[in-house]
Amino acid sequence: MTISEENYIKVIYHLAQVSPKGVTTNAIAGTLDTKASSVTDMLKKLADKNWVSYQKYQGVSLTESGLLKAKMVVRKHRLWEVFLVEKLGFAWDEVHDIAEELEHIQSQALIARLDEFLGHPAFDPHGDPIPNAKGEMVKEERLLLSDGQLHQTYRFMGVRDSSPGFLQYLDKQKIALGAQVELVEREPFDHSLTVRINGTTLVLSQKITDNLYVLKHV
């Protein structure tokens, strides 16, 4: 699989999370910043290799083999992110672009040893699940903080937006993965939330709470 093919497969995989009935060529083109005609040409090649199911004007979906290949690219990306943060000391807002390059290394033996070296992590530094060698992932019933109930305590598990600016904002507010978040008050006017995190009271806008994944704290 070429680097370009891996990029397309991964993009289709991520877009399918929000469009399970089929991913449009325009959505792929917008994500990859390329022409729709170029996307169509690539989709035909991927369909010929039985990695995607594609019919013009009806969107595209991954086949079973394509889904597994996509998960293996995602697996490599997220394992490298763990390595960069835990072993090389990079901040969580610095690792995405570097992992984008490392994810195209083809050696399965290297990735297997990397996984073992890291202790078989189940999640990357942003809280996203890491597929194992069979494509299996830990499933957790996460919800967005904006959908949480008042006077409940949750555990911060991941981000919907992993852009550097958003991650830097969380660092500035000392909101880290694993932090306990108690919902104190919801403002009816703008749906902002007053929360208590590690003993500190904060007011978070809906834009922020719509991008934080949490689990109910037990």
Q: pLDDT tens-digit profile of 125-157?
A: 999 999 999 999 998 889 999 999 999 999 999
Burial, 72: exposed, middle or buried (Cβ in 10 Å; 0-12, 13-18, 19+)? buried
Cα-to-chain-centroid distance, residue 188? 30
Q: Which residue has the tokens 């108690």?
A: 182
What is the phi/psi pair of residue 192, to 5°? -70, 155
Task: Report d(CA 174, CA 139) in Å as an integer.
Answer: 26
What confidence score (pLDDT) does residue 14 get?
94
Instruction: Cite the DSSP H helix spans in the chain.
Output: 3-16, 25-32, 36-48, 64-86, 95-102, 108-117, 164-172, 206-209
Amino acid at 108: Q
Mean pLDDT within 20-29: 90
Contact 8, 15 (CB under 8 A): no
Domains belonging to the chain, first-starting first, are: 3-62 (1.10.10.10), 143-216 (2.30.30.90)
Least confident interval from 52-61, 92-101, 112-121: 52-61
Give, in degrees to the nearest 5, the angle at Cα 17 between 80 and 160.
Answer: 60
